[in-house]
Amino acid sequence: MNDRHYAPHTDDEIREMLSETGIERIEDLFVTIPEELRARVFNVPPGMSEFETFERMKRIASDNSKEMLYFIGGGFYDHLIPAVVDHLAARSEFYTSYTPYQPECSQGTLQALFEYQTAICRLTGLDVSNASLYDGATACAEAALMAIRVTGRKKIIADGCLSPFSRMTVRSYLSNLDVELLELPPLDGLLNLEELERCLDGETAALIVQNPNFFGLIEDIAAIAEKVHAAGALLVASVYPLSLGILKSPGECGVDIAVGDGQSLGNPLGFGGPSFGFIAARKAFIRNLPGRIVGETADREGKRGFVLTLQAREQHIKREKATSNICSNQGLCALRALIFLSSIGKEGIARLASMNRDKAFHARELLSRIPGVTALESGQIFNEFTIALPVSADLVAASLLNRGIAAGLPLGRYYEGSENCMVVTVTEKRSRKEIELLALAIGEALQ
């Protein structure tokens, strides 16, 4: 290759490129990014060798090696992962597999995905599941599009207690469509039922709720489903999969489409991922499910086999009638979820969920004893709860972070007027001693 390809662009070349794009300065390319998040400079350092690159990355990574106590959630959780999950998921036949286009040489991957779909259906109490989605937020958006296709209506209502990250993604997906999106303000950390009744009408395709919601409170999903169905709309519920070990399943509560993020099912925390999204629905809606569905069949000799039963994607036969533009799935992360659920079993997930609930109740009681701290108690909780502090939650969280404690998720950046509020998460990994340490640290920070 000619050395010219490696040479930096000259000023004349840069000006020529800018004129082609119709802008005057390189900075104009980044106007959609908030100013405080933009790069300060664009001076890229000289190239480094492979060894130098690894050494630099190790030095950067060492800044993150400090041991932390995690009481922070908001969608990503510090849960136990059985050793068998890493052991099996790392097998080469799973670790390097991709889209199983050819069933004759992809039976292992296809069967794993079929079993994954079965596990999601049993977990959610619904009839059908696809072979996974990107993450919980995009699963919400895909469910909104699915509801629009099923009902033929053009209005989506999103509860304000739905994760801000999910609402932002839904907003982005619907922004260029002829669809009305209403976001209901929360009422004491729960869905505002009066406002919902006012907004439900003959144009409403679906209501999207979260359970437990972003404040950690458990909604009365069955009552909500009754109101939504009376208007001829669908109910989409974003659920925390581990909570289903003790809560009624979405199917039992009248939910039409259940979605969620599968990170808590055997996938470790990372810097934004990887994770996977799941979606399950009633059988009547199966042809409107996004992505792909693995089905069971039999070969010419009558032996059990697996194939991609539905692949309603644009690069297959559906073209412009495709239900989704998803080009791949999160198969490896979904496999980890299957191994996790299979290893702990039905009784195991119930015990795990009970531990989360009991430890969260204990933590909420301890924190409520601190002078000036009150807990939001307008509903029951699973493993997250909201507390109000007498000072800025950002300041308290920053103070505890310096002591190696990720105390919770401050709400001020997501909800106006909630600058002193924080969502605290307690999983089965947090010991009684660690919970007491959190309460002691918050008390000292407030003093």
Render the burial of 291-316: b for 16+ CB within 10 Å, e for the rest: bbbbeeeeeeeeeebbbbebbbbeee
Residue type, 367: L
For residues 321 and 375, state if they share a domain.
Answer: no
Backbone φ and ψ of 213, nearest 5°: -80, -175
> Domain check: are 138 and 214 in the same one?
yes
- Structural domain that includes position 215: 83-341
Give the per-residue pLDDT at 6: 42
Name the token pair of 304: 């059990």
Q: What is the DSSP letter of 201?
A: -
Residue 49 lies in a domain: no
241 and 114 share one domain: yes
Last residue of a domain, one of 341, 362, 391: 341
Can you give the pTM of this predicted structure? Answer: 0.86
**Length of the chain as a residue count:** 447
Is there a domain that residue 2 lies in?
A: no
Q: What is the pLDDT of residue 232?
A: 97
Number of domains present in the structure of the chain: 2
| Position 153 in a domain | yes
Residue 419: strand, helix, or coil: coil
**Residue 17 confidence (pLDDT):** 83
Are 277 and 129 in the same domain? Answer: yes
Nearest of 297, 299, 301 to residue 310 by alpha carbon: 297
Q: For 248-290, how does the pLDDT look when each residue is reduced to its tens digit (9 = 90+)?
A: 999 999 999 999 999 999 999 987 778 999 999 999 999 999 9
Q: Which helix (H) or strand (E) holds 138?
A: helix 136-151
Residues 363 and 337 in one domain: no
264 and 409 in a common domain? no
- Does any domain span residue 419? yes
The CATH number of residue 414's host domain is: 3.90.1150.10
Query: What's the distance, Cα to Cα, between the start and end of the chain in Å?
Result: 65
CA dist., res. 225 & res. 280, Å (int) = 16
Same domain for 73 and 153, yes or no, is no
CA diameter of the chain: 75
CA 146 to chain centre: 18
Last residue of a domain, one of 326, 341, 356: 341
Residues 224 and 304 in one domain: yes
**Mean of pLDDT over the chain:** 91
DSSP 31: T
What local confidence, expressed as pLDDT, does residue 9 receive?
A: 62
In a domain, 5, yes or no: no
143 DSSP β-pair partners: none
Query: What's residue 328's pLDDT?
Result: 64
SS (H, E, C) 145-167: HHHHHHHCCCEEEEECCCCHHHH
- The answer to whether residue 44 is domain-embedded is no
So what's the pLDDT on residue 364? Answer: 98
Amino acid identity of residue 331, one-letter, is G
Q: What CATH number does residue 307 fall under?
A: 3.40.640.10
Residue 59 forms part of a structural domain: no
Classify residue 314: in a domain, yes or no. Answer: yes
Of 319, 341, 363, the last residue of a domain is 341
Is residue 136 classed exposed, middle or buried when 0-12, 13-18 and 19+ CB atoms within 10 A define those classes?
buried
**CA 132/CA 292 separation, integer angstroms:** 8
Same domain for 325 and 284: yes
Task: Identify whether residues 367 and 330 lie together within a single domain.
Answer: no
Closest Cα partner for 278 from 80, 89, 134? 134
Do 319 and 361 belong together in one domain? Answer: no
* Predicted pLDDT of residue 316: 56
Residues of the chain with pLDDT under 70: 1-9, 42, 64-66, 96-98, 312-320, 325-329
Shared domain for 331 and 408, answered yes or no, is: no
pLDDT at 96: 67
